Structure 1
Amino acid sequence: MNNAAGGQKASAKPHFFLSYAHMPAVGSRNPNLRVARFYQDLCEAVLQLTPLPTADPVGFMDETMHQGDNWAAMISDALATCRVFVPLYHPRLFRSVPCGQEWYTFAQRSTGAPGGPALNSAIVPVLWVGMREETLPAVAGAVQFKHSSFPQEYVEDGLYALMAQRHHREKYEQVVYKLARRIVEVALETVVPVVEPVDFTTNPSAFPGQSAADQLTIAVLSFKDTELPANRDPAYYGAGRTDWQPYQRGAATALAEQAAQLARQCDLNPTIHEFDAAAGRLMDLDRPGGPGVVLVDRWVLHDPVRRELVREFARRNPSWVTVVEPWNRDDPQCVAEHAVLAALSDEVLRQRGRVAKPSFRAPVADDGEWEGIPSAREFGMAFQHAAVRAQKAFKERGLPRPSSSTGRPRPTLRDAFGPVIRPSLGRPSETETDEDDNGGNHDV
């Protein structure tokens, strides 16, 4: 019986943890709704098969959290206390860094258990779609996931197919019941110690071979609260440049953190940086490290030094780095400065003979200026679009071309930035080409 040590914590642990790869939105449709429905059906079935107190959580699924919650802490706590780990097998799951980190974090709890990991593998996989064994990572293929008692349609095509076809309703309910019974049995038969929560995002992924295209750089171009112009409200800023939150005064969660959560829902592994520190890497056309999204606070464009840095970024125009410009239409200061900063943004991001640097901005406002992303809700949709587009461009980028016959080396900012960013970057001369070999010009 799963009587792991943990004192009072043990009485509040979820019976199972559902791990799945978030699907990006398809138009106005949410492709994760069927996962949520399955989770609810599974919770109900497990509840029917156990004497769980009504105060105890039956399961844990991160879709149940509201935006702004400390999602990493909540997931880490559930991984440290749940009885059974339930991964939804799907190709996206095994490409997802967060899902691999969840698996690794749970598996670590078994390493010190009596009998070792082999006797404490409290993992019950679910075939969300049909999977061939040879396509699975070793850690997933080692877990039994095709039981003879399950309907053949489930083994071949997965649970999603049963849910999508009405005539398979009975088979779907049969599979849910059998999975619930298996979860309850595994919880009784294994001993997985309850441990102190560890931030799961600091752990490695259990799935090898993560691609550079899955590593997303979120670069924030903004101010610290000590750098602001005299006429700017400090309540939208914090001690660091990545603490900027344009949509809510005094918010506890920075916009970049919300963006990182949105990126994880697209199976990307995000890291957050100040734009000033990441600029050299983002503009390296010879050896790009991965896709990126730049969050631009237009107020920064009043600073001539950093404005030139953005201008150089736009000149190089790496197609795998997109731009998102949040702009709170309910902020009186933004309304007052709208025309000036919109014009600055358009001028800095536009280069001779080409459209502005690809930017996920709202349609042109009544006054003819770009409005920016006017609300947190619209930001979520725009950011995921920008992140997926950046990843696609990174995958499709051409190989670096050899240097031109003139022998002039390609310009690089790799060594241009020290601890204090004071670049001296001017406009390209009239003899330079408007287009860069490895840049992009894919406006939306």
Structure 2
Amino acid sequence: MTDSHSSGRPADSQDPYFFHSYAQLPGVAAGMRAPDERQEAFHQLLCRFVLQLTTHDGETPVGFLDKRMPLSGEWEKHLKEALATCRVFMPVYSPRYFSSHWCGVEFDGFLRRQTEHHRSERYTVSAIVPVLWTSPGRTVLPEVVQPFQYHSLDLGDDYRRVGLLGLMEAGKWGVYRRTVWRLAERIVDVATAAQLKSCEISLFDGLSNVFAPRTQADS
């Protein structure tokens, strides 16, 4: 990382606005990760809206989505660089999300970065913006994520009841697009308020799955 990252984000920075953390579906080829079509469509629409709300040049990705990359040292380096530079972390909550080892590892990485930022910028807002993919009633939230609010009146009752995937599958495309637009506004507002500093990827050495049940030895 450059000194400009460690001392604060330049006003014209083209770093990604958000890191899209999601749980993959089963059936992906061995050694690869890929989002399902619904996750990818959501990502593309959200990126389009964030570009409308910002001056990001779009020449580099405005949002990070880990797709079709081999699980290797290069993949891990690429993922860590995105975690170290994104402005907002966007976990997409579903039953599969909290059973995913890799999602727990990504969450650990961003928590470390946010904690490091708060050592010098104690009073900034959290840069974690959770998204409901499925009904919240189908998901048990681990203790580590409970401080981060996922519901808001401006996102609408339908979204809070069934999540984004539920809106898609019910064919409520107008409600879905309005909800994604409001999520884009929230991501941009949070990124502006948090002004999260980038970090060295060495901060992510020894990441662990923070969703895994704690043992007596851990407590």
User: Structure 2-normalised TM-score?
Assistant: 0.82
Instruction: Identify the residue that residue 192 of structure 1 maps to in structure 2.
Output: 196
Q: Do residues 111 (structure 1) and 118 (structure 2) align?
A: no
Asked whether the equivalents of residues 9 and 81 of structure 1 are also in contact (C-alpha less than 8 Å), the reply is no
Instruction: Identify the residue that residue 62 of structure 1 maps to in structure 2.
Output: 66
Q: Distance in 2 between matches of 1:159 and 1:121?
A: 22
Instruction: Identify the residue that residue 44 of structure 2 maps to in structure 1.
Output: 40
CA RMSD after TM alignment: 2.8
Counterpart of 2:24 (choices 3, 22, 28) is: 22
Instruction: Identify the residue that residue 424 of structure 1 maps to in structure 2.
Output: none
What is the deviation of 1:176?
A: 0.5
Instruction: Identify the residue that residue 123 of structure 1 maps to in structure 2.
Output: 128
Secondary structure, counterpart of 1:174 in structure 2: helix
Asked whether the equivalents of residues 7 and 197 of structure 2 are also in contact (C-alpha less than 8 Å), the reply is no
Asked whether the equivalents of residues 113 and 203 of structure 2 are also in contact (C-alpha less than 8 Å), the reply is no
Matches within 5 A, 1:16-415: 16-25=18-27, 32-63=36-67, 65=69, 70-113=74-117, 114-116=120-122, 119-132=124-137, 135-166=140-171, 168-198=172-202, 200=204, 202-209=206-213
What is the deviation of 1:200?
A: 4.7
Aligned residues: 203
What is the deviation of 1:201?
A: 7.3
Q: Distance in 2 between matches of 1:129 and 1:152?
A: 13
Partner deviation per Cα, 1:14-65 (whole Å, 9 max, x = no partner): 1100001111139xxx871100110011100100100112323200010154
Compare relative contact order (CA 8 Å, sep 6+) and give the higher one, 1 or 2.
2
User: Structure 1-normalised TM-score?
Assistant: 0.42
Larger radius of gyration: 1
Q: Distance in 2 between matches of 1:74 and 1:65?
A: 9
Moved more, 182-191 or 65-74: 65-74
What is the deviation of 1:139?
A: 2.3
Asked whether the equivalents of residues 9 and 197 of structure 2 are also in contact (C-alpha less than 8 Å), the reply is no
Secondary structure, counterpart of 2:67 in structure 1: helix
Q: Distance in 2 between matches of 1:16 and 1:31?
A: 16
What is the deviation of 1:111?
A: 1.7
* Greater helix fraction, Structure 1 or Structure 2: 2
Partner deviation per Cα, 1:147-180 (whole Å, 9 max, x = no partner): 01112111011100111122x0100001100000
Asked whether the equivalents of residues 72 and 201 of structure 1 are also in contact (C-alpha less than 8 Å), the reply is no
Instruction: Identify the residue that residue 5 of structure 1 maps to in structure 2.
Output: 5
Asked whether the equivalents of residues 123 and 143 of structure 1 are also in contact (C-alpha less than 8 Å), the reply is yes
Q: Please, which runs of 5 or more residues in structure 1 have no aligned partner?
A: 212-444
Secondary structure, counterpart of 1:88 in structure 2: strand
Asked whether the equivalents of residues 95 and 210 of structure 1 are also in contact (C-alpha less than 8 Å), the reply is no
